[in-house]
Amino acid sequence: MHLHSIRALVTRPKHQAGPLTRAIRRYQGMAWELPMLEIIPIEESQSMRDTVLSLDEFRKIIVTSPNAARFALELIDRYWPQLPLYTDWYAVGAGTAKILSDYGINATQPTEGSNSEALLEMAALKAVNDEKVLIIKGQGGRKLLKESLQKKGANVSCLETYFRQPPDYSATALPHLLESNGINVILCSSGDTLKNLINYLPERFFNVFYKLWLVIPGNRVAAIARQSGFNNIVIAKGADLDSQLIALEAVQKKIEHTSCK
């Protein structure tokens, strides 16, 4: 793989951007970071403690993101020196599965895709009638997992471990970074990230920057991008590192094809 035509803006939260930035540079691309989302852990409450203390009551536990995994494991570690047995863990994406694996949890993940839709296609999550299921997630966000499992007869609880907030930048921070570095592709890993990015683009820059390539995970975020005016969209299979690099390789080929015309 080579990404020598790629000049990328990585918009992941600060503590998550580094691996992707380094990977792009390793494959001869260029990358800059400007996080478009801040991740804040939720202060431990009695409700959260009660949920964690009853962890052994859940037959299935679903973790939706690396952030959800990281903050939940910190909380679980305070009350469970040894994890409960006979619980099946599931991860939305390879990054989430990796964090759980490092903690000693062997989580199942979809073989195709890394989103809620892919997870719900798994056979083990189609037969959940009368089962207690815990979803570990961020505050707010999509309701698809919970509502779909409830329709299948599951008794679903949620443990929210963090919330998201927009970063605080000057009005010129994003346009200056894009212009001064000749950025030609932006990577957004979620709908919230994309919305925050758009909010930091002054209207006078729309016609120019909406021509940039945009790498996003999934059709749902693609719909937001199209509604906002982006035309050059590449949909990655997921937000994990490998999926993002494969999508960037596709952008590289499109740039090469355009330059040859």
Instruction: Give tens-digit pLDDT for 20-54.
Output: 999 999 999 999 999 999 999 999 999 999 999 99
Q: Which helix (H) or strand (E) holds 40?
A: strand 38-41
Instruction: Give the predicted TM-score (pTM) of the model.
Output: 0.82
Instruction: Return the amino acid letter for 181.
Output: N
Q: How far is CA 136 from CA 44, 158, 185, 239, in A?
A: 14, 6, 32, 18
Asked if 164 and 39 count as a contact pair (C-beta separation under 8 A), the reply is yes
Average pLDDT over residues 228-254: 90
CATH 3.40.50.10090 in the chain, residue ranges: 7-37+167-260, 40-164
Please give the CATH number for the structural domain made up of 7-37+167-260: 3.40.50.10090
- Topology adopted by domain 40-164: Rossmann fold (3.40.50)
Query: Looking at 93-102, 129-138, 201-210, which range is the least confident one?
Result: 201-210
Tell me what pLDDT residue 259 has.
Answer: 63
Please state the length of the chain: 261
pLDDT band at 261 (very low <50, low <70, confident <90, very high): low
Provide, rounded to the nearest whole percent, the portion of the chain with pLDDT above 90. Answer: 64
More confident residue, 166 or 206: 166
pLDDT band at 220 (very low <50, low <70, confident <90, very high): confident
Instruction: Return the amino acid letter for 111.
Output: T
Tell me what pLDDT residue 260 has.
Answer: 61
What would the two tokens of residue 98 be? 């990796």
Cβ neighbours of residue 12 closer than 8 Å, sequence gap 6 or more: 20, 33, 35, 37, 187, 189, 193
Average pLDDT over residues 131-136: 97
More confident residue, 100 or 260: 100
Tell me what pLDDT residue 9 has.
Answer: 97
